[in-house]
Structure 1
Amino acid sequence: MLALNNIQILYDRAIEAVRDVSLEVAQGTIVALLGSNGAGKSTILKAISGVLYQEDGEIMSGSILLDGERISGAAPRDIVCKGLLQVPEGRALFATLTVEENLLMGGFTRSRSEAADGLDTVYGLFPRIKERRTQVAGYLSGGEQQMVAVGRALMGRPRLLMLDEPSLGLAPQIVDTIFEAIIKLNAESAMTVLLVEQNAQLALQTASYGYIIENGRIVLDGPAEKLRSNNDVQEFYLGFSGGERRSMRDVKHYKRRKRWLS
């Protein structure tokens, strides 16, 4: 469904944020993209969504394909209309609008009847924000705002939903609610999900496949179950180490892609 082929991204045409990244997200799957702060995860999502220009970022080489069609360089609106939507880190709600007005903004490409159906779906997934649908979004708790942000993306009826750090700063109960909704949507409607998440344990429990990115490069990928059992992943990301934490780049037996060794 989604394929990135040897993507290189620069900011201000000087700072390389992503180098030769390739990854695939098959239709109907949940794929996790893991990495530390500054590894390039959010940059990749912005490149897919077509919003790099807002931060003077640019795809210098490579391609992004959706269903075999090149979308790198396409306008964000056109990408949304193709069914690819993102929940950004930090939620980015319209703070002065109500909950329902924020949700309806997410369905701007849909008909009135589709928007009404979308509201029913979102409120069914998140009853908590239905109770607050007339409240101003800026006064909600962080967890409620995240539910609204996810719901706003769902209003666009995404074929592929991208989530950037959906658990960041949230209470465990709220995180459980959001991830249960993601899993339910994937199981019942085969919605494809690309998940960027620093909580590696949670991400690898949710996803079927994962990629690990370090310093703008993919250093490891594989089925989520295999990544969970990898000693180096356990040490660096899952906190199962009895010794000193190491950088992934310092792990000599770490499996890297052939181009990483060239």
Structure 2
Amino acid sequence: MPKLTVTNAQIFYDDSIEAVRDVSFMVPPGKVITILGANGSGKSTLLKAISGILKPEKGALVAGSIQFGDEDLSVTPSDEIVRQGIVHVPEGRRLFVNLTVEENLIMGGATRSRADRAQSLERVYTVFPDLVDHRQRIAGYLSGGQQQMVAIGRALMSHPSLLMLDEPSLGLAPKIVEQIFEVIARLPAEQGIAILLVEQNASLALSVADYGYVLERGRVAFDGTAEALASSSEIQEFYLGMSATDTKRSMREVKHYRRRKRWLS
């Protein structure tokens, strides 16, 4: 399985607004890597850059590189990136709301053979058994949690090597979030895929991740194993809501907050 490597990425919108500056990280095969940070920190922009879908929003990678194995994703069309095994589940799910659950899922396996699509459907229904009784329902009438299951299931239909999830917990009830994150935790071992998880709920993300990167204002402020980040006093204060005082501060005000240029060997 290829490894995703982002090295010193700098991304601008409209040639004037810097969204990401000098960001480096990697996603090894079979691992769950999470990118944490507040709104506007550059998390979703990074996923769009990896997926090759920045151009419609007048965004561009102006420096650095994005490699998936030997493939340079910065010059690879978005449809070819999917064929390379990278599938992006965007924030908001974006289903075909007038199609049934099963029709949505089949759309995700459009590049597979008919026999393979049938096997993939059964695999998705095994991962998300709640969808079995709704397979002929119009997707637009599903609950938010069911729609998120369909969105992830649709991505799994193409047998990805790397699954990118953007805010999968957004707007969902706690019980549904728990179900979805149980699936996220199982997928690498069960299906041999890597997961790049963008999430504002730091505690939840770190509970399933192997390694994490924390973005602030388009830069990596912290990185480390999920266990180390979860136990970090800075992460506890600013992202897990566990401040010893109730004073809200920017992470810039933390005494040991350091910015450093990251190079990946």
- 2:163 maps to 1:161: yes
Backbone CA RMSD of aligned residues: 1.3
Matches within 5 A, 1:100-179: 100-179=102-181
Question: Do residues 56 (structure 1) and 58 (structure 2) align?
Answer: yes
Q: Which residue of 2 aligns with 1:251?
A: 254
Distance 1:43 1:258, change over 3 A: closer
Moved more, 127-136 or 163-172: 127-136
What is the alpha-carbon distance in structure 2 between the residues aligned to residue 204 and residue 68 of structure 1? 29
SS at match of 1:131: helix
Ranges in structure 1 where 5+ consecutive residues have no aligned partner: none
- Deviation digits for residues 186-220 of structure 1, max 9, x if unmatched? 12232100000011001011001000000001111
- CA distance in 1 between counterparts of 2:201 and 2:184 reads 15
Within 2, Cα distance between the matches of 1:165 and 1:198?
Answer: 7
Question: Which of 3, 17, 20 lines up with 1:18 in the alignment?
Answer: 20
SS in 1 for 2:74: coil
TM-score (norm 2): 0.95
Cα distance in 2 for partners of 1:157, 1:148 equals 15
Amino acid at match of 2:98: T
Whether the aligned pair in 1 keeps the contact of 2:213 and 2:222 (CA below 8 Å) is yes
Alpha-carbon distance between aligned partners in 2 of 1:34 and 1:114, rounded to the nearest angstrom:
35
How far did residue 128 of structure 1 move? 1.4
Structure 2 CA distance for aligned equivalents of residues 83 and 238 of structure 1: 33
Separation in structure 2 between the aligned mates of residue 88 and residue 23 of structure 1, nearest angstrom: 20
* Identity score, percent: 58
Q: How far apart are the structure 1 equivalents of 2:62 and 2:98?
A: 37
What is the TM-score when the length of structure 1 is the normalising length? 0.96
1:34 maps to amino acid: L
| Post-superposition CA distance 1:14-67 (Å, at most 9, x none) | 111111111111111100000000100000000000001121111111110001
Return the match for 2:94 from 92, 95, 116.
Answer: 92
Counterpart of 2:182? 180
Distance in 2 between residues matched to 1:245 and 1:111, nearest whole Å: 54
Kindly indicate whether the alpha-carbon contact (under 8 Å) linking 2:22 and 2:261 is maintained by their aligned counterparts in 1.
no
* 4+ runs deviating over 3 angstroms: none
Kept in 2, the 8 Å contact 1:220–1:257? The answer is no
Question: Matched residues in 2 for 1:258 and 1:49: separation?
Answer: 24
The separation in 2 between residues aligned to 1:133 and 1:63, in whole angstroms, is 41
Give the distance between the partners of 1:23 and 1:218, measured in 2 at CA: 9
Task: Give the SS at the match of 2:131.
Answer: helix
Report if the CA contact (8 A) 1:99-1:132 is conserved: yes
- Partner Cα distance (2:56, 2:116) in 1: 30
2:49 counterpart residue number: 47
Letter in 2 for 1:254: Y
